[in-house]
Amino acid sequence: MISATLEQTMRDETSVESLRHELVNRYGAPTSAVRVVRAPYRICPLGAHIDHQLGPVCAMAIDQAVLTAYAPSASNEVRLSSLDYPGEVRFRLDDVPDRQPGDWGNFPRGAVRVLQKNHDLGTGICGVTAGRFSAGGLSSSAAVSVALLLALEDVNGLDVPREENILLGQGIENEYLGLHSGILDQSAILLSKQNHLTLIDCQSVQYRLIPSHPAMPPYSILLAFSGLTKALVGTDYNRRVAECTEAATILLNAVGRDIDPAVLRRVSADEHADNQKLLTGAPALRAAHFFSEVDRVTKGVEAWQQGDLEAFGHLMSDSGVSSINNYECGSPPLVDLYEILIKTEGVYGARFSGAGFRGCCVALVQRDAGPDVAEHVRREYAQRHPDLAHDAPAVLCHSDDGARIL
């Protein structure tokens, strides 16, 4: 029997080769000029919705990725197609169209716009991109964006540091797409390392790679999909960020500090405890989520360093409760999926993956129990939501390295 990692490597090699052929067939690119960039999807076991408040977050890249085959174009034209979406995105570098709602072409257009602010882009690109998971929860949009940034930089001979690429990726979301997100996704995709937990301080953009403890039991990552899909800009994501801003403004005023930027990270846990009576309604709940989640990240890092997956998993599941009760995200099917997961034997812990408005849940599971857990969860969910079951697989995967040109 071949190992899961080897099987994944073989699948990747097949995809890389077929993407190369697609690029040559669709755009007539010379074979020798074709390169492939791999930008993994990410999970965030702890640190939900606190990146935009500049809190600390934990992440990992997984061994499932967006792949983009590309080559320089002979002009300043960008021509891209996708194996997952119809049509072609085509524009000139000196005439980048504005955002068009719901169009995947926003990612390449956004990538060019943000890069052009500080870099000269003279060479266009042709490319074909493919990714298995576009349903949400795994930061597929950030993975596509990072892949395109790296490809554009490569054909233009630009050597852009990873920290800058993180902010460029965030710029695509914030400035071009209108999503007020933090740096979690881009950091996880660019900085992660196989078998390590990536701890990112979203205030300083500093990070630490924390290796798995030698005594840590073998685990797998389970992605349990809900079958729900919807773009984040159309969710309550931005409203939640605004509610956090409101809470931060009230607390910063109370402690006599300026309100620029009005983010919860600039308030200490003690200051929050002393002044929380000033908060009511949604801002009170969002602040309660922020401060408890920061605490879970700190405790989670300690548990990880000790190889204590039971404790780490409990913190994940507690984070799930806070996402439901305090952050008030999670549609009913996603909450059902979460509840199925935490009741299943062999699961260390689970929570919504990503923003948690749609997409999937992520769980850490005992490696040996993984296939049974996946099958059980898929079956239980199908019973509760037969209408969504056809699009709701449960997929086992593992941690992996961050984005790279192959």
- The catalytic site residues sit at 185
177 binds ligand GLA (CB under 6 A): no
Query: Which residue, 12 or 175, has its beta carbon nearer to ligand GLA?
Result: 175
3-state SS, residue 141:
helix
Cβ–Cβ < 8 Å for 322, 352: no
CB of 311 to ligand GLA, least distance (A): 21
Closest CA to 150 of 136, 130, 131, 164: 164
Cβ–Cβ < 8 Å for 404, 63: no
Q: Which helix (H) or strand (E) holds 165?
A: helix 162-171
Give the nearest residue (CB) to ligand GLA: 181
Query: Which residue, 22 or 243, has its beta carbon nearer to ligand GLA?
Result: 243
Residue position matching structure tokens 């949009």: 141
CA–CA distance from 80 to each of 17, 125, 289 (Å)?
18, 8, 40
CB of 293 to ligand GLA, least distance (A): 9
361 binds ligand GLA (CB under 6 A): no
Residue position matching structure tokens 């390590």: 196
CB of 77 to ligand GLA, least distance (A): 30
3-state SS, residue 3:
coil
Residues near ligand GLA (CB under 6 A), total: 12
Query: Which residue, 185 or 380, has its beta carbon nearer to ligand GLA?
Result: 185
Query: Which residue, 227 or 359, has its beta carbon nearer to ligand GLA?
Result: 359
Part of the chain binding ligand GLA (CB under 6 A), chosen from 42-50, 59-67, 294-302, 340-348: 42-50
Query: Which residue, 74 or 321, has its beta carbon nearer to ligand GLA?
Result: 321
The single residue among 29, 78, 144, 355 that binds ligand GLA, judged by CB under 6 A, is 355
CB of 106 to ligand GLA, least distance (A): 14
Cβ–Cβ < 8 Å for 145, 41: no
Token digits of residue 211: 């290796």
CA distance 334 to 321: 12
The single residue among 354, 359, 370, 402 that binds ligand GLA, judged by CB under 6 A, is 354
Part of the chain binding ligand GLA (CB under 6 A), chosen from 44-52, 116-124, 151-159, 292-300: 44-52
Part of the chain binding ligand GLA (CB under 6 A), chosen from 80-88, 114-122, 158-166, 177-185: 177-185
320 binds ligand GLA (CB under 6 A): no
330 binds ligand GLA (CB under 6 A): no
User: DSSP string of 146-193?
Assistant: HHHHHHHHHHTT----HHHHHHHHHHIIIIII-----SHHHHHHHH--
The single residue among 19, 36, 46, 48 that binds ligand GLA, judged by CB under 6 A, is 48
CA distance 324 to 346: 23
Q: Which amino acid does the sequence have at 357?
A: F
The site map against ligand GLA for 58-97 (x = CB under 6 A) is: ----------------------------------------
Part of the chain binding ligand GLA (CB under 6 A), chosen from 153-161, 182-190, 264-272, 308-316: 182-190
Closest CA to 149 of 179, 170, 135: 170
- Chain positions 127 to 156 lying near ligand GLA, rule: CB under 6 A, are 139
The single residue among 52, 286, 376, 398 that binds ligand GLA, judged by CB under 6 A, is 52
The single residue among 20, 35, 38, 49 that binds ligand GLA, judged by CB under 6 A, is 49
Cβ–Cβ < 8 Å for 183, 51: yes
The single residue among 121, 168, 184, 199 that binds ligand GLA, judged by CB under 6 A, is 184
Query: In three state form, how does the secondary structure of 195-249 look?
Result: CEEEEEECCCCEEEEEECCCCCCCEEEEEEECCCCCCHHHCCHHHHHHHHHHHHH
Backbone φ and ψ for 55, nearest 5 degrees, come out as -80, 175
Residue position matching structure tokens 């009576």: 277
Query: Which residue, 44 or 67, has its beta carbon nearer to ligand GLA?
Result: 44
Cβ–Cβ < 8 Å for 160, 382: no
22 binds ligand GLA (CB under 6 A): no
181 binds ligand GLA (CB under 6 A): yes
51 binds ligand GLA (CB under 6 A): yes
Part of the chain binding ligand GLA (CB under 6 A), chosen from 176-184, 216-224, 254-262, 338-346: 176-184
CA distance 43 to 62: 7
Cβ–Cβ < 8 Å for 232, 179: yes
Cβ–Cβ < 8 Å for 294, 301: no
Task: Summarize as ranges the residues that interact with ligand GLA (CB under 6 A).
Answer: 44, 48-49, 51-52, 139, 181-182, 184-185, 354-355
